[in-house]
C-alpha cells in the first residue's frame, strides 16, 4: 500500500479522554482526604491541606501518577482504595462507538497513559477495552511522564509511527505541548474530561466536544489526501 494511503495512528490518552475523569477526582480529591484523616487522626481540613501540599509538590511528575508513591507518602494503600470503588470507573460518552468505528475502518489505535502499570491494568480489566489497541503503554514503563519530550522520543524508538499523519488526543495541555514539541502533527484536546467537571471552550488545540466527532475529523483528513 502506498505510504500516503496508510491509515494514521490514533494515540489516545486514557483518563479524561477515553475514561471519565470523575472517577479519579472522586478517589484522589474526595475519598483519599477522608481516609487520610481517618488514618492519621486529623480533621478533614488538615487532611485536605496536607494532600494539597503533596499534590503541589509532585504534579506533572512520574511520582504524581504512581500509586506506589502515593501509598508510601500517605500511609495507606491507594491501589486498594481504587479497587474498593471499581464500580465507579466509567467510559466517557461515545467511547465504545468511537472505538468500534475506528476498528471497523482499520485505524491503528494506541493508548499512551500516565497511569502507572498497576492503575492501567486495573482500569483496562474494569472496562474490557484492551483488545481495541495495538499498543498500550504506561509512562511508568518508559521512565518519563508524557509531559517530557523524552517520553515521546522513547515511545517512538520502541514503537515507530508516522509523526506527520498521527493523531494524539489528550485532556492535559502540558502533555499536548510536549507531543507538539516532539512533532506529532494532529493534536486534539477534550471539552469535558470529567462528566462532573467544567466544559472547556478555549484551548491552543482543537477541542473534541463528543468523542465520536473524531470520525468526521478523520474522514475530512482522508478525503483531503485522496485529492492531494
Q: What is the DSSP string of 146-171?
A: TTSHHHHHHHHHHS---TTT-EEE-S
Residue number, 14 or 37, with CB nearest to Mg ion: 14
β-strand pairing of 109-113 with 10-12: parallel
Q: Which stretch binds Mg ion (CB under 5 A): 89-97, 140-148, 153-161, 171-179?
A: 171-179
- Give the count of residues interacting with Mg ion (CB under 5 A): 4
Residue 119 within binding range of Mg ion, rule CB under 5 A? no
Residues 66-85 that bind Mg ion (CB under 5 A): none
Query: Binding to Mg ion (CB under 5 A): which residues in 4-23?
Result: 13, 15-16
**C-beta of 47 vs 119, nearer to Mg ion:** 119
Q: Which among 184, 111, 101, 186 is positioned nearest to 141, based on CA atoms?
A: 111
Residue with the CB atom nearest Mg ion in the bound state: 16
DSSP state at residue 98: H
Number of CB atoms found within 10 A of residue 158's CB: 11
Minimum Å gap between C-beta 170 and Mg ion is 6
User: What is the C-alpha to C-alpha distance for residues 29 and 89, in angstroms, rounded to an integer?
Assistant: 15
Q: Which residues bind to Mg ion, rule: CB under 5 A?
A: 13, 15-16, 171
Amino acid at each position: 500500500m502506498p505510504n500516503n494511503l496508510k491509515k494514521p495512528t490514533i494515540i489516545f490518552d486514557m483518563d479524561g479522554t477515553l475514561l471519565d475523569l470523575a472517577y479519579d477526582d472522586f478517589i484522589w480529591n474526595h475519598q483519599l482526604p477522608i481516609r487520610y484523616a481517618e488514618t492519621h487522626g486529623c480533621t478533614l481540613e488538615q487532611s485536605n491541606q496536607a494532600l494539597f501540599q503533596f499534590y503541589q509538590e509532585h504534579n506533572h511528575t512520574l511520582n504524581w501518577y504512581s500509586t506506589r508513591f502515593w501509598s508510601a507518602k500517605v500511609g495507606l494503600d491507594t491501589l486498594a482504595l481504587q479497587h474498593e470503588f471499581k464500580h465507579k470507573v466509567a467510559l466517557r460518552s461515545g467511547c465504545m462507538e468511537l472505538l468500534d468505528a475506528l476498528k471497523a475502518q482499520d485505524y491503528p489505535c494506541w493508548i499512551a497513559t500516565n497511569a502507572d502499570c498497576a492503575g492501567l491494568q486495573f482500569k483496562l480489566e474494569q472496562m474490557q477495552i484492551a483488545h481495541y489497541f495495538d499498543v498500550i503503554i504506561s509512562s511508568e514503563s518508559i521512565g518519563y511522564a508524557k509531559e517530557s519530550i523524552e517520553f515521546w522520543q522513547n515511545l517512538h524508538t520502541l514503537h515507530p509511527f508516522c509523526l506527520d499523519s498521527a493523531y494524539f488526543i489528550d485532556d492535559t495541555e502540558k502533555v499536548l505541548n510536549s507531543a507538539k514539541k516532539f512533532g506529532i502533527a494532529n493534536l486534539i484536546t477534550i471539552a469535558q474530561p470529567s462528566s462532573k467537571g467544567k466544559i472547556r471552550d478555549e484551548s491552543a488545540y482543537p477541542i473534541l466536544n463528543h468523542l465520536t466527532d473524531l470520525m468526521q475529523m478523520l474522514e475530512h483528513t482522508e478525503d483531503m489526501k485522496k485529492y492531494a
